[in-house]
Amino acid sequence: MSFINVLSREINCKIVYYGPGLCGKTTNLQYIYNKTNPDAKGKMISLATETERTLFFDFLPLALGEIRGFKTRFHLYTVPGQVFYDASRKLILKGVDGVVFVADSQIARTEANLESLENLRTNLAEQGYSLDKLPYVIQYNKRDMPSVAPVEELRELLNPNKVPDFEGVASTGVGVFETLKAVAKLVLTEVKRQAG
Ligand X SMILES: Nc1nc2c(ncn2[C@@H]2O[C@H](COP(=O)(O)OP(=O)(O)O)[C@@H](O)[C@H]2O)c(=O)[nH]1
The smaller minimum CB distance to ligand X, of residues 170 and 191, is found at: 170
| Only segment of 7-15, 109-117, 141-149, 185-193 that touches ligand X (CB under 6 A) | 141-149
Q: Could you say which residues in the range 29-88 bind another protein, by CB under 8 A?
A: 42-43, 45, 47, 56-57, 59, 61, 64-68, 70, 72, 75, 87-88
Contact 109, 20 (CB under 8 A): yes
Q: By CB under 6 A, tell whether 171 contacts ligand X.
A: yes
Pick from 28, 30, 54, 116 the residue near Mg ion by CB under 5 A: 54
Question: Going by C-beta distance under 8 Å and a sequence separation of 6 or more, which residues neighbour residue 24?
Answer: 102, 104, 141, 142, 168, 170, 171
In the bound state with another protein, the residue whose beta carbon lies nearer, of 161 and 195, is: 195
Closest CA to 18 of 96, 78, 84, 75: 78
Closer CB to Mg ion, residue 11 or residue 169? Answer: 169
Residue closer to another protein by CB (options 31, 142) is 31
Question: Among 13, 15, 16, 23, which residue sits at the site for ligand X (rule: CB under 6 A)?
Answer: 23
- Alpha carbons within 13 angstroms on the beta-carbon side of residue 5 total 9
CB atoms within 10 A of CB 114: 14
Task: Kindly provide the residue ranges of all beta strands, DSSP E only, lying in 105-156, ordered along the sequence.
Answer: 136-141
**Residues of the shown chain interacting with Mg ion in the complex, contacts defined by CB under 5 A:** 25-26, 54
